[in-house]
């Protein structure tokens, strides 16, 4: 099932899930129809990969790398590339919904177990920003490249330029232009960043985050996804976290770094995600109007997730099982 059809599948009235050994029950009525609730399917074994939303093909690719003994970093890159190449997905890579001027601009970052980080922001015409981000990390003295410079760098590394605006996304943009009303919509395509966290068999953690950002954003807008500590943070001693949803609110609370630091202080991944959402909803009276979702893992292979509203899910490949799991949420 495509992520965009989540909200049309209001089928689950009650879901009980176990993540990281902690039983949760949530009434996530807008979770994907095939989201599971069987606590026995998940344990804390390694390796593992977990991603925002229901992206089973991406997690399957990452798992393929991990199962063969590959590194968490390779798993992240390969997993994220699957969704970036999916032209039907309108939130990541090719086919991403454009900004209000009709330009598809991509943000991505990657972080490894050594604490190295690479990112691209406002990248155009290159389908795989996650791979360009990795090249920034490995082949430059910098951590972030933006816009034209990022594009030039990508081309110099052998990436091929292509038009990323598909017919479907162009049509959607033309339809949007009739009203030009800019309003983030909860759980619709414009909140479908892929944030992915993996732990390999050596116990090393890496993460990645890739997005076309908010649909119909202002030209030049950059969200949380490529910004270290906001859209993604990894500390190989502790764990990792990544975000999806209204990037502006994640940026203001440095959400992923916050979650890792809360885990450092002893919280489970689940509790840390809940507290990070708490920081947002306590400050923002208008939280009913936007969505933010987090996922996190700790060094033990425990996983947590939490969002402001229902409809958020994660896909977790662990113990040979590739499962989309409805996430618990704040606004019940
Ligand atoms: N967090 C992304 C951004 O603000 C959007 C998303 O998750 O879809 O750019």
Residue 328 DSSP one-character state: P
Q: Is residue 60 part of a domain?
A: yes
186 lies in which domain range?
26-326
Q: Which atom of ligand 1 is nearest to the CA of 212?
A: 9
Q: Is residue 52 part of a domain?
A: yes
Can you state the angle between helices 72-84 and 56-67, rounded to 10 degrees? 150
**The total number of structural domains that make up the chain:** 1
Confidence band of 75 (pLDDT split at 50, 70, 90): very high
Confidence band of 86 (pLDDT split at 50, 70, 90): very high
Cα 280 to ligand 1 centre (Å): 15
Q: Is residue 137 part of a domain?
A: yes
Separation of alpha carbons 29 and 14, rounded Å: 7
Q: What is the CATH number of the domain that holds 184?
A: 3.60.20.30
DSSP secondary structure letters along 97-115: ---TTS---EEEEEE-TTS
Residue 40 DSSP one-character state: G
Global pTM value:
0.91
Higher pLDDT: 213 or 39? It is: 213
Annotated catalytic sites, by residue? 193
Q: What's the pLDDT tens digit per position in 18-38?
A: 443 333 456 787 888 778 755
Closest CA to 21 of 315, 326, 297: 297
Cross-strand bridge partners of residue 241 = 233, 296
Cα 68 to ligand 1 centre (Å): 32
Confidence band of 280 (pLDDT split at 50, 70, 90): very high
Ligand 1, atom 6: closest residue by C-alpha: 191
> 292 near 308, Cβ under 8 Å?
yes
Q: What's the pLDDT tens digit per position in 97-143?
A: 999 999 999 999 999 999 999 999 999 999 999 999 999 999 999 99
Q: What is the pLDDT of residue 180?
A: 86
Q: Is residue 147 part of a domain?
A: yes
> 183 near 191, Cβ under 8 Å?
no
As a whole-number percent, the residues of the chain with pLDDT over 70 amount to 88
With a cut of 60, say whether residue 16 has pLDDT above it.
no
Burial of 89 (0-12, 13-18, 19+ CB in 10 A): buried
Instruction: Report the residue among 4, 244, 294 best suited for mutation to probe ligand 1: largest number of ligand atoms under 8 A from its CB.
Output: 244
The answer, yes or no, to whether any atom of ligand 1 lies below 6 A from the CB of 91, is yes
Q: What is the pLDDT of residue 314?
A: 94
The answer, yes or no, to whether any atom of ligand 1 lies below 6 A from the CB of 291, is no
The answer, yes or no, to whether any atom of ligand 1 lies below 6 A from the CB of 195, is no
The answer, yes or no, to whether any atom of ligand 1 lies below 6 A from the CB of 245, is yes
């Amino acid at each position: 099932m495509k992520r965009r059809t989540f909200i049309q599948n209001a089928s689950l009235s009650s879901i009980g899930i176990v993540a990281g050994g902690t039983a949760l029950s949530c009434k996530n009525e807008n979770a994907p129809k095939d989201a599971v609730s069987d606590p026995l399917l998940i344990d804390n074994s390694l390796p593992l990969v977990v991603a925002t939303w229901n992206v089973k093909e991406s997690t399957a690719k990452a798992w393929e790398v991990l199962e063969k003994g590959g590194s968490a970093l390779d798993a992240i890159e390969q997993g994220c590339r699957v969704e970036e190449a999916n032209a039907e997905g309108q939130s990541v890579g090719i086919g991403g919904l454009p900004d209000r001027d009709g330009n598809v601009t991509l943000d991505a970052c990657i972080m490894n177990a050594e604490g190295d980080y690479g990112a691209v922001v406002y990248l155009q015409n290159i389908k795989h920003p996650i791979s360009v981000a990795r090249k920034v990390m490995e082949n430059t003295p910098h951590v972030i490249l933006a816009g034209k410079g990022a594009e030039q760098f990508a081309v110099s590394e052998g990436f091929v330029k292509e038009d990323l605006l598909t017919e479907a996304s162009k049509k959607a943009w033309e339809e949007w232009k009739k009203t030009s009303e800019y309003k983030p919509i909860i759980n619709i395509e414009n909140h479908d960043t892929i944030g992915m966290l993996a732990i390999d068999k050596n116990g090393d953690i890496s993460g990645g985050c890739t997005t076309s950002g908010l649909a119909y954003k202002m030209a030049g807008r950059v969200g949380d996804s490529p910004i270290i500590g906001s859209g993604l943070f990894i500390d190989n001693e502790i764990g990792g976290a990544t975000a999806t949803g209204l990037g502006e609110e994640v940026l203001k609370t440095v959400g992923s770094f916050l979650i890792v630091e809360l885990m450092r202080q002893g919280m489970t991944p689940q509790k840390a995600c809940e507290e990070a959402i708490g920081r947002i909803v306590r400050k923002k009276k208008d939280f009913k109007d936007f969505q933010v979702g987090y996922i996190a893992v700790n060094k033990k292979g425990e996983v947590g997730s939490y969002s402001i509203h229902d409809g958020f899910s994660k896909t977790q490949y662990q113990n040979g099982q590739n499962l989309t799991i409805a996430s618990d949420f704040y606004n019940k």
